[in-house]
Amino acid sequence: MLRSRVIPCLLVHKRGLVKTVKFKSPKYVGDPINAVKIFNEKEVDELIVLDIDATVNQGEPNYKMIEHLANESRMPLCYGGGIKTPEQAQKIIKLGVEKVAISSAVIDNPKVLIDIANIIGRQSVVVVLDVKKNIFGSYEIYTHNGKQKVKRKLYDFIRELESIGIGELVINSIDNDGVMKGYDLTLIDKVRDSIDIPLTVLGGAGTYEDILELIQRHKIIGAAAGSLFVFKGVYKAVLINYIPEKIISVIRKISKA
């Protein structure tokens, strides 16, 4: 049965764990492997790891790092960064990763999703769309860490992705990245109304109440966050943490309602 999930999202830059603000100024916050070990102890629902260098540098996924992450992870792991071909996706799944996240390659050729799904299964195919609001209030898709605007209409494109057949869509708000002032609920409402496939949202969660509000609003949804789970307090001291069990219990009840 589908249920809501609370998902830490880790960004990897130059092999270190970083956190950005609006996709800029990456701040080093530790070692990815150590973070995975801590999240194991916290018994998190799922973990997303995104290598933000791979696509920009047009490099292969870092298979050695992925293997280390998969070997340490005791939770479902989704990896993204530099994946362009079915062969790369299959290699990553064989390393022990449950899902692969694809972004820029899908913009260039949405049909590649069919080839990837035929090899690893539709349930393991995740598409990540980084979006930003323009001066007219419309949302636009970007790639390459928010540097390249895509000439596709967001809602038309996500319906195209659904028709092709993907296991999950992740919507990442560039405007809200690292700001910690709440999710863009207007954006999420519109995306949720446009598709029926599993949806995860990222960008803006600053408190546990933000996550609760999102799940109360949409019931079955993935609530992902970065800063919330790596920083603590007003001065943003680095501390890997997760949502308390008492709030997890509330979320589980909401999902079943």
Active centre residues (catalytic): 130
Q: Distances in Å between the alpha carbon of 131 and those of 99, 119, 145, 151, 254?
A: 21, 28, 10, 12, 28
End-to-end CA distance of the chain: 13
Give residues with Cβ within 8 angstroms of 53, minimum separation 6: 12, 13, 14, 59, 81
Q: Distances in Å between the alpha carbon of 103 and those of 52, 113, 209, 233?
A: 11, 11, 29, 32
**Three-point CA angle 189, 177, 197, nearest 5°:** 35
Angle in degrees, 0-180, between the axes of helices 154-164 and 112-120, rounded to the nearest 10 = 40
Rounded to 5 degrees, φ, ψ at 187 are -60, -50
For residue 121 the two structure tokens come to 């299964």
Using an 8 Å Cβ cutoff, are 94 and 70 in contact?
Answer: no
For residue 68 the two structure tokens come to 């280390």
Q: Supply the DSSP string of 138-157, one letter for each residue.
A: -EEEEETTTTEEEEEEHHHH
* β-sheet bridge partners, residue 127: 102, 169
Measured CA to CA, the distance from residue 93 to residue 89 in angstroms comes to: 6
